[in-house]
Structure 1
Amino acid sequence: MTITRADIEKHNSRKSCWVAIHGAVYDVTDFLDSHPGGAKVILRCAGKDATDDFDSVHSPEILTEALPGSALKGQVDPTELKFSNEIQGSSSETETKKEHNGPPPLNTLINLHDFEQVAQDYLPANAWAYYSSGADDEISKRNNAKAYQKVSLRPRILRKILSVDTTTSILGHSVSLPVYISPVGIAKLAHPDGECALAAAAGKEGIAQVLANGASMPIERVMGARTSSDQPLFAQLYVNRDINKSVETVRRAVKAGAQSIWITVDSPVVGKREMDERLNLSVTAQDSDAQGQGVAKIMASSISPFIDWSILTWLRELTELPVVIKGIQCVEDAVLAYEHGVQGIVLSNHGGRSQDTAQSPLLTLLEIRKFAPYLIKSKMQIFVDGGIRRGTDVLKAIALGATAVGLGRPFLFSLSAGYGEKGVRRMLEILRHEIESNMVFLGATSLDELCPEMVNAGRLERDLVGSVKL
């Protein structure tokens, strides 16, 4: 059935909301309140062409998964809608912030900070705000990085290092670096290939990837983007307020072939990410009902704050896959996780995006070393994320007892400006070289040879809590 622009424009309210996506017209009225991103995101496009907004965060498969067949009302000539949008102004928030002659060549980017600067220049304003923002005054976000600066290296000399081995094992899967891709949501905001580009780069570079619960690509498609069937891909889980949706998420991940479940517990409510919220307010300034909800708050609105340690029993009834708890922020909870038999923990304050002034993950690692050192030698693997930007940061975490470290924002930044998979691989090339060269400086031929004696953590240890009750 052919539908005209005038027909679509009549359905521009909450009572009757139609949108066009790639020439197909959908009635999404009944879907508004169940949309994970909130109703307002769709209502901005009511009666209009929503293709640009849709493509910026979703893959085409989501339409058939989320909408019943009856929602499809017909087809419209896309050129007719394009002309209308040019007159009215696009509703998309994904305009780039300024014009450019093109991004710098990848070979001119020589550290991870360079990628962040390019991303700030080239990402759409809403993407930059969502990716880069931290909670409140962003103290935790800054302190995550500063913690590594408080730890000095103690190089050994005359070790005759002919080569270095950076391989390790994450949950039984061999990887070429002690680095993995942390779960990062809506990667399509950075590049159209989103999480699939991350998967392809991870496979070619031999590292692991944790797929975000809020990924912009379905897990089946990301699994298909891997370079080999044994390439490790783990699935993140936020427990949904509707527990049945989480059951479906876990079962889908298991069926798709994910090799472990990483349950994230450090954001029972979303942090107050003011940069994200301010941008949304500027976009909705003419809406008297605007609440200043940024992308992060909208995306996290379905997360359940009502779970406790018994959620692990629920999860084990669904799958026998290894379980990792992401979001451990003190030694007491690290011990509890060990006692509950999980296969791994991630020391993380959510990249400084949840509770501001929460201590840095590296400091939590020192807590474990001081008050529960047996955890470091146990079978439970310990991962660290947040603030890692240099190869020396990686080595400091490993020397102090971590199995591997996760990076989130840098992977998104390396996707931006059209770089895609090539940008990710260039970023990993830089990080790999920094890790290898600094292992030579330290006098270590393998990761196993990294030890606490190779670092001086005295300045950071001053921030340790005086005592704990275990």
Structure 2
Amino acid sequence: MTVTRSEIERHNTRQSCWVAIHGAVYDVTVSDFLDSHPGGAQVILRCAGKDATEEFDSVHSPDLLTGALPETALRGIINAAELAPSEGMDSVSEARPAPTPDGPPPLSTLINLQDFEEIAQRYLPINAWAYYSSGADDEISKRNNARAYRKISLRPRILRKIPPVDTSTSILGHSTTLPVYISPVGIAKLAHPDGECALAAAAGKEGLVQVLANGSSIPIERVMQSCVSLNQPVFQQLYVNRNITKSVEVVRRAQKAGAQAIWITVDSPVVGKREMDERLNLSVMAGDGNSQGQGVAKTMASSISPFIDWDILSWLRQLTDLPVVIKGIQCVEDAVLAYQHGVQGIVLSNHGGRSQDTAQSPLLALLEIRKFAPFLIDGRMQIFIDGGIRRGTDVLKAIALGATAVGLGRPFLFSMAAGYGEDGVHRMLQMLRQEIESNMVFLGATTLRELEPEMVNASRLERELVGSVKL
């Protein structure tokens, strides 16, 4: 059935909200779709009675509509050219600092991860940059995550007759060519239309592990199709939803699709106050009496349950026999509790400085473990770490102090920006791999197993350690 423009435009309220996506017209007030939408109802309501195609495509895969809305929601079709586009986020998405006239520079001219970040800031839509780069409050934790690595010096060994170095390791039993994995990063389509699929393809070709975000902009089934082999390791991140049945669906769907571990994220029971993100949203929604300044992050995470404790691990084990990793450990006491609850791994993380500002850096948490619970670094439980890692030397410092591997999030998103996509990811990893290999030679280590605590001087950072703990 053909729907007219005037008919769609009449349905522009919460009580009756129609939107057009790729020429199909949907009534999103059917069922409880508006209230259950992960991004919040306001994200949809600002497109009420209009064409929402561009905004939908910026964060979603086209096939998402099939499972998200019942057949009864379809009201008909319309020629998209006849319908006014939605205002607000679309206009902001197009607003960005002026790029150079000749477009982004060739990938061959970028030589470190900071170069990618600078290009991303120039070329990403403003709302994407705000969502990706923002930290909580004054962004002290975000900055301190990186500064912690600068407080550790290397202690190279010489005359060791180093053959070609071996950077391979094993993450939860899966071989990887670097002690680096792709951290779960939400809404990757904001960086590039191929989003998480580009990351999966690059991870497969580079021999890395990818952890797929709970808020992935592309369904896991399509991401798995982008893998280069059937046994390519993809892990599924899990936020426990207020509606627990939705978390059950995430786990079962991931296992059916071929995910090989569950990374339950617990460091954001509520969303940090990411002011850059929220300030942008206020400017977009100016004049809207219903707006409360919620940015992308807060609306995306509005369904996360703060009402969970360690018993959630028992619930998860009844649901799946996949390995379980807890992401978001921030002190030695919780690292020990995680070990006692039998998880296969932990991620030392303060959510990239995006949750509680002034929370200590993950690298400090690693030093706490070394000092107060060194038995955790004996291989019984793998220890991962993320936040602030931008150099090959950062990676080696973490490994020397006992980490199994490190996670990078923002750098992978930035590497896809400006249209680089999968090629940008390869270039970024090429640079990181070269830094890791050359600095292993400087240290006198031929394999990651030969990296030892004695190869680093952590005394400056150790001054910030807590005096005592109760285990």
- Same fold judged by TM-score > 0.5? yes
Partner of 2:94: 95
Deviations 1:6-27 (A, max 9, x none): 1111111111111111111111
Give the Cα–Cα distance (whole angstroms) in 1 for the partners of residues 440 and 90 of structure 2.
50
Instruction: Give the secondary-structure state (helix, strand or coil) at the position aligned to 1:437.
Output: helix
Partner of 2:43: 41
Determine if contact 2:152/2:457 at 8 Å carries over to the other structure.
yes
1:9: which partner in 2?
9
2:241·2:305 contact (CA, 8 Å) conserved in 1?
yes
Deviation (angstroms), 1:91: 4.5
Quote the residue 1:188 is aligned against.
Answer: 189
Aligned length: 467
Q: Work out whether residues 55 and 89 of structure 2, in 8 Å CA contact, stay in contact via their aligned partners in 1.
A: no
Please tell me whether the aligned partners of residues 128 and 191 of structure 2 are also in contact (alpha carbons under 8 angstroms).
yes
Q: Which residue does 1:29 correspond to in 2?
A: 29
The answer to whether 1:131 aligns with 2:153 is no
Q: Distance in 2 between matches of 1:213 and 1:111?
A: 29
Task: Give the % identical residues.
Answer: 80
Partner deviation per Cα, 1:376-399 (whole Å, 9 max, x = no partner): 003200000000000000000000
Structure 1 unmatched runs, 5+? none
Distance, in Å, in 2 between the alignment partners of 1:322 and 1:122 is: 38
| C-alpha separation in 2, matches of 1:89 and 1:437 | 48
Q: Secondary structure at the match of 1:129?
A: helix
CA contact (8 A) 1:45 1:91 kept: no
Residue of structure 2 in register with 1:169 after alignment: 170
Matched residue type, 2:212: L
1:316-360 alpha-carbon deviations (Å, 9 max, x no partner): 000000000000000000000000000000000000000000000
Partner in structure 1 of residue 218 of structure 2: 217
User: Could you tell me which residue of structure 2 aligns to residue 53 of structure 1?
Assistant: 55
Q: Residues of 1 paired with 2:89 and 2:264: CA distance?
A: 38
Trace 1:208-247 onto structure 2 (pairs within 5 A): 208-247=209-248
- Report what 2:66 is aligned to: 64
Q: Is the 8 A contact 1:392 1:434 kept in 2?
A: yes
- The question of whether the paired residues in 2 share the 8 Å contact of 1:53 and 1:93 is answered with no
Matched, 1:325 2:323: no
Shift of 1:228: 0.6
Alignment deviations for residues 116-157 of structure 1 (CA, whole Å, 9 cap, x no partner): 000100000100000000000000000000000000000011
Residue 4 of structure 1: how far off its partner (Å): 1.5
Amino acid at match of 1:200: A
| Equivalent position of 1:75 in the other structure | 77
Alpha-carbon distance in structure 1 between the residues aligned to 2:132 and 2:115: 16
Letter in 1 for 2:41: A
Counterpart of 2:256?
A: 255
Q: 1:140 to 1:90 in 2, by over 3 A?
A: closer
RMSD over aligned Cα atoms: 1.1
In 2: Cα distance, 1:57 partner to 1:431 partner: 28
Distance 2:2 2:243 in 1: 38
Q: Aligned partners of 1:276, 1:133: CA distance in 2, in Å? A: 7
Decide whether aligned partners of structure 1 residues 40 and 162 sit closer, same or farther in structure 2, where only a CA change above 3 A counts. Answer: same
Corresponding residue SS for 1:48: coil
Q: C-alpha deviations, 1:50-83, integer Å up to 9, x for none?
A: 00000000001110111000111111012222xx
TM-score between both structures, scaled by the size of structure 1: 0.98
Q: CA separation of 1:406/1:307 partners in 2, compared to 1, >3 Å: closer, same or farther?
A: same
In the aligned structure 1, how far is the partner of 2:304 from the partner of 2:89?
31
What SS does the aligned partner of 1:304 have? Answer: coil
Determine the C-alpha separation between the residues in 2 that align with 1:149 and 1:96. 35
Q: Post-superposition shift, 1:29? A: 1.5
Deviations 1:275-318 (A, max 9, x none): 00000000001112210100000011100001000000000000
What are the residue-to-residue correspondences of 1:433-444 with 2, within 5 Å? 433-444=434-445
Cα distance between partner residues in 1 of 2:248 and 2:93: 33
Distance 1:289 1:211 in 2: 33
